[in-house]
């Protein structure tokens, strides 16, 4: 009997919510969570809103039982055919009187086998939609739950890890459905029927031998599989390590060449592959011992049973058909036993993967709407911060009593050194976090008391780092308002001063921007972000260091588009380059989470404080950058002038 071979290859409650997943004990199939997992999975397998799928479960269960009854009945036809050929028809029973003759019994035996296989396939086909519907619903629920979780959660988790949890969880559902419901349960039913047949037809001694064989076979397989799982983990870890080193080395191909470290990289890779070689050898050797042990256990059990039957045939208490029947029943029983190790391992892995997904679903959102919270009603878009206090860590406050107001249609800029808390203000305004003290008002409404989506619908943002979807330019602009038509998308691009560039592309608005928009330059990506915000047409605009990552020349080009989009809108600008906020109605200077200066550009320069120092430093840097640019331009012109006579 051989196992199937597989190829190698806050503070307080907020803080507790934040650490919910990381503090949770690793889930494993070893934890005995099978029942709880199946209980959690049952609403997806028996959906209350889909009576059609419930009927499929009922029909599939009926055909499952029917198929197993027929499966254990098939050897009877074999027995009767043997007895008919042996001339022992007197011991056959009533049914064969209807199915007269050995040929008819042989044909009936094969028809019964075909019908049994057909019923099993019909069961699987009926259950397929139920299983796939469960996969879809649970994956959708997990995906939407991920978007409801706080920004803090996503900043502290690896996106790749989250996607792998969802991927493995959905595959785990399929594994549980296939191996628990469609394989294990039918096998248990078949074992029970075989036990009944042997117990009633041949006596308790036969039942005891078969039960002992099955129990010992299952115990040995599970113990050996547990041992092999540890070896497989070592093999997988070595495989992952080798794969990681190979990809890292190839991604840094130029660096490897710069320093001539090809041999070192090859040695690092080979060390990982050597560990994989040892583990892979152990896994295949252990599989051989597992298969051999299974064969010995089943062979001994079968030998004992067949010997008992042979002795009874000679004594005349059994017919030759009984001997053949017992052999056929045991051989038939060996088929599900053959998959015990494989099924056991797949179920354990499936349980682990599903439990990871359910653990993720148990993580509570840090920012939640109050019950029956109303939507934000924006009339003119006035923003007011009242003694706002906040810290990402309880021991480190970022904002220490911030108070300011942005009147409707006016522009307020926030500047300050790195780590002063500038970007935190925009995150709080978008309600990615709830304040820990004070309140934030929009048109007199505390944003913590209204629905989050209504707050974000009223605010548009042009961030410092514009990340685009790996889709077309049109898709990324239309993301600002998904129901916008083509003319509105083109108009937004024109206002953002990027329409001309787009039209010059071979595919125009249908051009793909690449992963995270990497096919576009920084300035082009910013213009797409501006067009997206223009299309959204929000009453409130946040410019979060929108030009800090651009060179001076590109910044000046982008600034004219930003001035256009912010016109007649309540605008909060978080600035790094002070030259971009000279025209702001009020400038707030932030330092260590407190407003240390406020006023217009002229007033702050006249005060001679922190703002004036920052202005002087940036002015010097800009002048140096401009001088360097002019010098390079002059050098290029000189080269051209020196070459011109030769060209003539």
- Maximum C-alpha span of the chain: 120
| Every domain range in the chain assigned CATH 3.40.50.300 | 375-458+541-612, 464-537
Integer angstrom CA distances of residue 583 from 563, 588, 597, 623:
10, 13, 17, 21
Give the pLDDT score at 120: 79
Total-model pTM = 0.61
Residue 553: pLDDT over 70: no
List alpha helices for 149-203, DSSP H: 151-156, 159-176, 185-202
Q: Which residue has the tokens 């055909």?
A: 63
Give the mean model confidence (pLDDT) for residues 182-189: 75
What CATH code would you report for 375-458+541-612? 3.40.50.300
> Residues 474-516: pLDDT tens digits?
888 888 888 888 898 888 888 888 888 888 888 888 888 877 6
Burial of 635 (0-12, 13-18, 19+ CB in 10 A): exposed
Angle at CA of residue 426, ends 11 and 14, nearest 5°: 15
Alpha carbons 113 and 119: distance in angstroms, whole number: 10
Q: For 17-26, 183-192, 303-312, 613-622, which range has the lowest pLDDT when averaged over its residues?
A: 17-26
Q: Taking a C-beta distance cutoff of 8 angstroms, is the pair 269, 249 a contact?
A: yes
> Residues 558-591: pLDDT tens digits?
677 677 777 778 888 888 778 778 888 899 998 8
| Every domain range in the chain assigned CATH 1.20.1560.10 | 14-361
| Average predicted confidence (pLDDT) for the chain | 77
Which is more confidently placed, 99 or 250?
250
> Residues 209-225: pLDDT tens digits?
888 988 898 888 888 87
Which is more confidently placed, 482 or 92?
482
Q: How confident is the model at residue 6 (pLDDT cuts 50, 70, 90)?
A: very low
How is residue 107 written in tokens? 């044909």
Residue 404: pLDDT over 80: yes
Alpha carbons 637 and 643: distance in angstroms, whole number: 10
Give the mean model confidence (pLDDT) for residues 416-435: 85
> Residues 614-642: pLDDT tens digits?
888 877 766 676 677 667 666 666 655 55
Alpha carbons 231 and 235: distance in angstroms, whole number: 6
Q: How confident is the model at residue 15 (pLDDT cuts 50, 70, 90)?
A: very low
Domain 464-537 has CATH 3.40.50.300: yes
First to last CA, the chain: 89
Highest mean pLDDT among 19-23, 224-228, 531-535: 531-535
3-state secondary structure of 623: helix
Kindly give the interhelix angle for 340-361 and 159-176, rounded to the nearest 10 degrees: 130
Q: Residues 421, 424, 429, 434: is their CA dihedral positive or negative? A: negative
Residue 61 belongs to what H/E stretch? helix 51-86
The CATH H-level (homologous superfamily) assignment of domain 14-361 is ABC transporter type 1, transmembrane domain (1.20.1560.10)
Residue 586 belongs to what H/E stretch? strand 586-591
Give the mean model confidence (pLDDT) for residues 263-288: 83
Give the pLDDT score at 550: 58
Residue 5: pLDDT over 60: no
Q: Which residue has the tokens 């001088």?
A: 627
Alpha carbons 321 and 105: distance in angstroms, whole number: 12
Residues sharing a CB contact under 8 Å with residue 192, sequence separation 6 or more, in sequence order: none
Alpha carbons 232 and 348: distance in angstroms, whole number: 14
């Amino acid at each position: 009997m051989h196992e199937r071979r597989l190829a190698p290859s806050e503070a307080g409650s907020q803080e507790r919510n934040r650490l919910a997943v990381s503090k949770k004990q690793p889930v494993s199939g070893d934890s005995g969570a099978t029942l709880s997992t199946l209980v959690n999975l049952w609403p997806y397998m028996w959906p209350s809103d889909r009576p059609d799928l419930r009927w499929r479960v009922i029909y599939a269960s009926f055909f499952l039982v029917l198929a197993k009854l027929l499966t254990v009945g098939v050897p009877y036809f074999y027995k009767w055919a043997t007895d008919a050929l042996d001339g022992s028809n007197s011991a056959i029973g009533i049914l064969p009187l209807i199915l007269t003759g050995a040929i008819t019994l042989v044909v009936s035996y094969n028809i019964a086998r075909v019908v049994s296989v057909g019923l099993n396939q019909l069961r699987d086909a009926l259950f397929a939609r139920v299983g796939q519907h469960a996969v879809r619903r649970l994956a959708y629920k997990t995906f939407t739950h991920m978007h409801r979780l706080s920004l803090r959660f996503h900043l502290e988790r690896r996106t790749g890890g989250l996607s792998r949890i969802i991927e493995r969880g959905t595959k785990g559902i399929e594994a549980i459905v296939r191996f628990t419901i469609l394989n294990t349960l039918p096998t248990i039913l078949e074992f029970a029927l075989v036990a009944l047949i042997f117990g009633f037809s041949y006596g308790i001694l036969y039942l005891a031998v078969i039960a002992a064989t099955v129990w010992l076979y299952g115990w040995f397989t599970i113990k050996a599989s547990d041992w092999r799982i540890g070896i497989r983990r070592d093999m997988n870890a070595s495989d992952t390590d080798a794969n990681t080193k190979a990809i890292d080395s190839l991604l840094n191909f130029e660096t490897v060449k710069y320093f001539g470290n090809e041999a070192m990289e090859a040695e690092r890779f080979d060390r990982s592959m050597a560990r994989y070689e040892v583990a892979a050898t152990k896994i295949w050797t252990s599989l051989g011992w597992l298969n051999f042990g299974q064969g010995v256990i089943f062979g001994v059990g079968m030998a004992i049973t067949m010997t008992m039957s042979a002795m009874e045939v000679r004594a005349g208490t059994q017919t030759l058909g009984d001997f053949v029947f017992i052999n056929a029943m045991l051989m038939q029983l060996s088929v599900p036993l053959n998959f015990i190790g494989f099924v056991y391992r797949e179920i354990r892995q499936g349980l682990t993967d599903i439990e990871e997904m359910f653990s993720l679903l148990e993580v509570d959102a840090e920012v939640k709407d109050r019950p029956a919270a109303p939507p934000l009603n924006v009339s003119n878009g006035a923003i007011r911060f009242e003694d706002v206090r906040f810290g990402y860590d309880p021991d480190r406050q970022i904002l220490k009593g911030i108070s300011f107001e942005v009147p409707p249609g006016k522009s307020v800029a926030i500047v300050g050194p790195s780590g002063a808390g500038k970007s935190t203000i925009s995150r709080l305004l978008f309600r990615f976090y709830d304040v820990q003290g004070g309140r934030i008002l929009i048109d007199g409404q505390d944003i913590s008391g209204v629905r989050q989506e209504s707050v974000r619908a009223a605010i548009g943002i042009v961030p410092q780092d514009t990340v685009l979807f790996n889709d077309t330019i049109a898709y990324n602009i239309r993301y600002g308002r998904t129901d916008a038509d083509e003319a509105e998308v083109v108009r937004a691009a024109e206002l953002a001063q990027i329409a001309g560039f787009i039209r010059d592309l071979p595919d125009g608005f249908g051009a793909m921007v690449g992963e995270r928009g990497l096919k576009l330059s920084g300035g082009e990506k910013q213009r797409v972000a501006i067009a997206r915000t223009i299309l959204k047409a929000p009453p409130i605009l946040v410019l979060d260091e929108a030009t800090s990552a651009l060179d001076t020349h590109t910044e000046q080009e982008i600034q004219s588009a930003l001035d256009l989009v912010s016109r007649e809108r309540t605008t909060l600008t978080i600035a790094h380059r002070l030259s971009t906020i000279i025209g702001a109605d009020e400038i707030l200077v932030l330092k260590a989470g407190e407003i240390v200066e406020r006023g217009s550009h002229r007033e702050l320069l006249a005060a001679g404080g922190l703002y004036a120092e920052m202005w002087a430093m940036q002015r010097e840097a800009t002048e140096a950058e401009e001088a360097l640019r002019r010098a390079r331009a002059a050098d290029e012109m000189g080269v051209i002038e020196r070459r011109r006579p030769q060209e003539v």
